Structure 1
Amino acid sequence: MPAEAGAARADERGAARADERARAARRAARVRALRPWLLLAPALGVLAVLLFWPLVRVVSLSFQEYGLRQINTGESNYTGLDNYREILGDSFLWTTVLPNTVLFAVSCVVLTVVVGTLVALLLQRLGKTWRVICSTVIMMAWAMPAVTGTYVWIWIFDPLNGVVSGGLDAVGAIEPRETNWFTDRWSFYAIATLNVVHHGFPFVAVTLYAALLTIPRELPEAALMDGANAWQRFWRITVPTIRPVFAVVTILSTIWDFKVFAQIYLMPGGAGANPDVLNLGVWSYIQSFSRNEYGMGSAIAVLLTLLLLAITVGYVKALAREGDQL
C-alpha cells in the first residue's frame, strides 16, 4: 500500500508539472502573439488619432444640422437621417453628381490601367539607356503636383490662348471666341480625364514593369515555340502570372479616381459656378465650406466612402472567386 500511495503521489506531481509546463507554454504563446502588436502600438495610435477620430467625427456630423451657429456655440443638433434623406431624395444626385462621379472614375481607371500596362510592356522591351530615359520622363509626370498639372491642362485648353484652340483655329476647325471647352459637361470631363490619366499612369507602369520582371523567361519562350502570338502570350501567361499586381493597381486607382478633387475644383466652373460638372467630392466641399452646411457635406462624404467600400469589396470578392475557379 505505501508503494502504491507513493506511486500515486508521483503521478500527481508529474501531472502537476505537466499542467504547469502547459500553462507556461500558453503564456509564452500569448506573449509571442502580443509582441507584434506592442511594436505596432505607437503607429496604430498615431493612425487612430489622425484617421480614425476624424472619420468618427465626420460620421457624427452627418447626423446633425451643423452650421456656423453650432460652430460658435459648440452645441449639437442631431436630426437623425434627415441629411441622408434629403441627399438621396435630391434628383441632382442621381442625374448629375453620381453619373459624373462614377463614369469619370471608371473611365479614368480603365484608361490609367491600359496606358500603364502598355508603357510597362514598352519598358520591358527597351534597351537600358532608353528605359532609363523613358522611366525618368514618366516619373516626372507622376512627381508633378496635381495642382500644377491641372493648371497646365487649363492652359493647354484655354479658349483664347491655349495650344488646342490655337491649333484648331489655324486649320479653321473652330472659332476660339465661340468655343469654351470648360462649359460643356462632356468636354470638361474629357480634359479632367486626360489630366488624371496623365498623372496616374506612371505609378501603374512602374509597378507593372516591376511585376513583369518576376515572370520567368522560360514561360513566354515556351509559348513562342508553341506558336503563340503576342496577344496570346500576354493574355495566357503575363496576365495570370501578375494578376495580384493588376488587382492592387486597379483598386488603388479606383480609390484615387473616385475621390478626385483638385483636378475638378480648380478647373473653370468646377468650384460650383457650373453645377453640371460637380462630383461627390467637390459637392461635399461646396456644401460644407461654401454654404456652411457641414452636416450635409459630411453626409455626402460618408456616401462617397460607402460607395468606395462597396466597389472595392465587390472587386476583391470577384477576384477571390475567379482565383478559386482557376
Structure 2
Amino acid sequence: MTTSFLDAPAPASPPPTRRSSRPPRRRKPVLPWLLLSATLVVLGVFTGYPIVRLVVMSFQEYERAQLMGTPAEWVGFDNYVSILTDLDGFWTVLLRSFVVMVICVVLTMVIGTLLALLMMRLGKGLRVLVSVGLLLAWAMPPLSATIVWGWIFDTEYGIVNNLLTRITGDRWFGHSWLLDPLTFFMILVIIVVWGAVPFVAFTMYAGLTQIPGEVIEAAQLDGASALQRFRLVQIPYVSGIITVLIVLSMIWDLRLFTQVFALQTIGGDREATNTIGVYIFQTGMAQGHYGVAGAIGVIFVFIMMGLSSYYVRRTVQEEEL
C-alpha cells in the first residue's frame, strides 16, 4: 500500500518563541542633528553666551570700574533684593509697562480685527488700496515713525497744535504734549498701535478668509445677525490665531524701547515715563550699575517666559493631536 505526500504527517511546528515585553529600541536619526549643528552652534554663541554672562553678572557688583579690568565682587542675591524691594523704582516702572502693554494690545487687536472684517467686505480695488496703506505703515522703521509723530505733536511747529490753535484760539499755542506723562503715553500708544495694527489686520484677514463659506451661509439662513456670526462662528475658527496674536503683541509691547527712548529724547520726562526696557538701559549704560541691570534683565526674561508659556503649551498640544 502506497502513501502519497498528502497522507504524510505534517511537520511539527517549531515551539513558539518567547517574545520580549520590551519594545525594540529605535535608533535616533543622526542626520537631522547634523543639519542643525551649525544653527545650534550659532545660537549657542550669539544667544547662549550672552544669557549666561547676564546671569553671572546679575550676581556681581559690576560697575564701570570692572569695564577697565578690575575683578568684580560676588554679591550673591543682593542685586535681586535691592531691585525687588525698590517700590518707587522697579515696581512702578514694571506696573507702568504692564498698563501700557494692556492698552496697546487691546487697541491693536480690536482695530486690527475691525480692519480685517472691513477688508472682507471691500471690493478688490479698495482692498488693495487699504492693503498698501497698511503695508506702508508696517514697513516704516519704529525710530522713523516716532520722529514723524514727534513732529506732528511738536510744541512750536506741530500740526496738532496748529490745528487746535486755529479752532480754539491761543489756548493750545506752544502746548507741550510730551512733558505731561499722560499725553506722553497717549502719543506712545498711538505710535505703537499704528505700527502694530497692520500685522494683526493681515493675519486676521488671512484666517477669516479660510472659514468655509457654507458655514457662514448656514448661520445666516438660521437667522444669525452679523454680530452673532462673528461671535459664534468666525471667532471659534480663528481662536488659535487670536491666541498667537495676543501673546506676540504682549511680548512686543512689554519690551518697548525705541519708541519710548526716542520720545524722551524729543522732549519727554525720563523719570516719569520710563518703561522696563528703557529702565534697564538707563540703569546699566547711563548709571553704570551693570550688575543691577543684569538682575533686572534676568527677572524680565522670566516674565517673558511666563507670558509665552501658554502659547508654547498650546502649540505642543496641537502638535500631539
TM class, shorter-chain normalised? 0.7 to 0.9
Kept in 2: contact 1:270–1:278 (CA 8 A): no
Higher normalized helix content (fraction of residues): 1
Number of positions where the alignment pairs a residue of Structure 1 with one of Structure 2: 303
User: Alpha carbon RMSD of aligned pairs, Å?
Assistant: 2.7
CA–CA separation in structure 1 for the residues paired with 2:252 and 2:245: 10
- One of 189, 195, 203 as aligned partner of 1:193: 189
TM-score by structure 2 length?
A: 0.86
Aligned partners of 2:165 and 2:173 also within 8 Å: no
**Residue matched to 1:54:** 50
Deviations 1:249-306 (A, max 9, x none): 1111111000000000011358985301001110100011111111111112222222
Give 1:30's match in structure 2, choosing from 4, 17, 27: 27
Deviation at 1:222, TM superposition (A): 0.5
TM-score (norm 1): 0.85
Q: Which residue of 2 aligns with 1:3?
A: none
> Deviations 1:75-124 (Å, cap 9, x if unpaired)?
23221111111111112236631222000011111111111111111111
Contact 1:63 1:81 in 2 (8 A): yes
CA gap of 1:174–1:232, structure 2 versus 1, over 3 A, is farther
> Quick one: which of 304, 307, 314 aligns to 2:303?
307
**Paired position in structure 2 for 1:80:** 76
Asked whether the 8 Å contact 2:251–2:307 carries over to 1, the reply is no
Q: Distance in 2 between matches of 1:314 and 1:80?
A: 31
Aligned with 1:248 (options 226, 239, 244):
244
Matched residue of 2:256: which SS? Answer: coil
- In 2, the alpha carbon distance for the partners of 1:220 and 1:227 equals 11
In the alignment, structure 2 segments of 5+ residues that lack a partner are 1-11
Aligned to 2:5: none
What CA distance in whole angstroms lies between the structure 1 residues aligned with 2:266 and 2:120?
A: 39
The whole-number CA distance in structure 2 between the counterparts of 1:140 and 1:90 is 42
- Cα-to-partner distance string for 1:30-64 (whole Å, 9 max, x where unaligned): 243x4333322222221222212211211211111
Structure 1 pair 99/227, CA: closer, same or farther in 2 (3 Å)?
Answer: same
With 40-49 and 184-193 compared, the bigger mean Cα shift is at 40-49
1:229 corresponds to which of 225, 230, 249:
225
Distance change (3 Å), C-alpha of 1:77 and 1:270: farther
Which entry has the higher C-alpha Rg, 1 or 2?
A: 2
Alignment partner of 1:67 is 2:58: no
| Structure 2 counterpart of 1:285, one-letter code | F
Inter-partner Cα distance in structure 2 for 1:154 and 1:240: 40
More displaced 10-residue stretch of structure 1: 89-98 or 294-303:
89-98
SS at match of 2:177: coil
